Chains A and B, each alone.
Chain A
Amino acid sequence: MAYTKRVDGRKANETREIIAKVGVIPRADGSAMFAFGDTIAIAAVYGPRQLHPQFLQNPERGILRCYYDMMSFSVTERKKPGPSRRSNEISMVTTKALESALHLENFPNNVVDVFIQITQANAGTRCAGINAASMALAHAGIPMKELVGAVSVGQIGGNVVVDLIKEEEDYEEDGEKMATDIPVAIQLKSKKISLLQLDGKVKPAELKKAIEMAREACEKIHEAQVKALKEVKE
């Protein structure tokens, strides 16, 4: 049986409720919160500031350093706090997804630190993290080409859907895993893709359709990001 009706009753191209806020952490240079339904990410930006130890500095341009972590109470089974294989990888892909949208060539030997914390998780945490980080970077006054939006798309038993929840990610039929999860990050002016991961199997035609749907969903995310940023104005 094909997966035609989604567990939470959404349409295939519908994301969960999006909440975006800017300036949630007063002591940071820039901060933002982004939520896809139950998945909530907060991001804080510090810098640009001198990078130490000195051997890490790049004399040609500033560097971006992202740190992604899930809070121990964000998932049903307690997550051991601190870096892990998974969070290190996500920190790395987040850095790469955001780096190309920034202008850091005027900040040699400097670093921009981005701390992303997931306060509540129900799949799609890295995408929520990228969305929050992109808003926080803009809020911190870092020169940027454009904002970055991210959403996870997926294929469940041949059907392409947007913004999967945990239940859909783990969807099984007769003990066989049916779902494929594809996080996509898109730079919102040039429409370039800066993150594309794939966990599972997918047909070429389905992947193309999935990316198209991600682009549509990112338009909505962009709207929410811009609205949140224009509301702060301090």
Chain B
Amino acid sequence: MESEKIKKIEENEEMEIAEVPEEHEEKKREVAVPGDVIAKGANFLPGEGARREGSEIIAERFGLVTYEDRLVKIIPLSGAYMPRRGNVVIGIVKDTTYNGWLININATTRAFLPITEAKSFVSKQEEPSSIYAIGDMLVLKIKSAKLKGIDLTMADRGLHRLEGGMTIEINSNKVPRVIGKLGSMVNMIKTETNCNITVGQNGIIWIGGEKIEDELLAKEAIMMIAEHSASGGLTEKVEAFLKKRKSKEK
């Protein structure tokens, strides 16, 4: 009964993968370097990572040029994690203060989790360090991201302290590839390796499985995606890789 269910899910997964083409196969995007003219004429508007100079739109970052209607923007290929409101991230507790925790989420500014956002009820005797200690890893949501600091929250579903498993780090710009369209990539890795995976938008990924071998296999697959993020047909490649490795073990 149980195995049938899994089989069905797998079939569905494959359907989904077959239906949704890889982003890169739709149309090849060009790489731009800072100072490149990426569009000409008053018809275009400069988006993120671009500026207007007279009638030209000029790239300000190293990345892939994308056109969305009239908007021309750059999808960066590298660089530090830029926090956005609503992002789910994984962070590590660096310090405790009297009213909350300082958390490292790999952003360029410090992030703060106030105690009121961590627990619905806090008694006066309770100190932040008795709830989360230095070194704890948490799944958090970004409540607000401003130039001078990031406010975090844990008051939402699925936000919790991580226990067991392992965390790995990749560049945050490659996270969309690891997740895949509608989560197709990460779901496939989850079912193939029997692991729980939480992908933080900041590039920190938590893997938890029953066996350490499973976790390591999932890690290898994710590292493979990060390394070959520019090539097309990745979901199929990773699936083939995982199936091959599993058959070898047997």
Contacts and interface: CB of A to CB of B under 8 A. Distances in A.
Given A29-B80, A30-B78, A229-B31, A108 B148 contact: yes
A121 to B, nearest CB: 27
A145 B62 contact: no
B76 A141 contact: yes
Contacts of A234: 77, 227, 229-230
Contact of B108 (A103, A107, A143): A107
A29 B78 contact: yes
Interface residues of A, number: 31
Contact of B60 (A29, A110, A145): A145
Contact of A140 (B36, B58, B78, B109): B78
Interface in A78-106: 101, 103, 106
Nearest to B37: A189
B148 A144 contact: no
B164 interface: no
> Interface residue tally of chain B, by bracket?
20 to 34
Contacts of B60: 103, 143-145
A146 interface: yes
A109 B79 contact: no
B147 interface: yes
B110 interface: yes
B61 A144 contact: yes
Interface string A38-54: 00000000011110000
A24 to B, nearest CB: 14
B135 interface: no
A233 B230 contact: yes
Nearest to B34: A144
Given A29-B80, A139-B78, A233-B230, A189 B31 contact: no
Contacts of A139: 62, 78
B33 interface: yes
Interface string B37-80: 00000000000010100000010111100000000000011111
Interface of B is mostly: loop
Contact of B33 (A49, A110, A143, A147): A147
Interface of A is mostly: loop
A7 to B, nearest CB: 35
B49 A233 contact: no
Interface in B89-114: 108-110
Interface string B219-230: 000000001011
Most buried by A among B35, B61, B109: B35
A189 B35 contact: yes
A144 B58 CA distance: 10
A27 interface: no
A234 B80 CA distance: 15
A48 B107 CA distance: 9
B58 to A, nearest CB: 7
Interface string B103-133: 0000011100000000000000000000000
Most buried by B among A47, A101, A143, A145: A143
A138 to B, nearest CB: 5
Interface of A: 29-30, 47-50, 101, 103, 106-110, 138-147, 188-189, 225-226, 229-230, 233-234
Interface of B: 31, 33-36, 49, 51, 58, 60-63, 76-80, 108-110, 147-148, 173, 227, 229-230
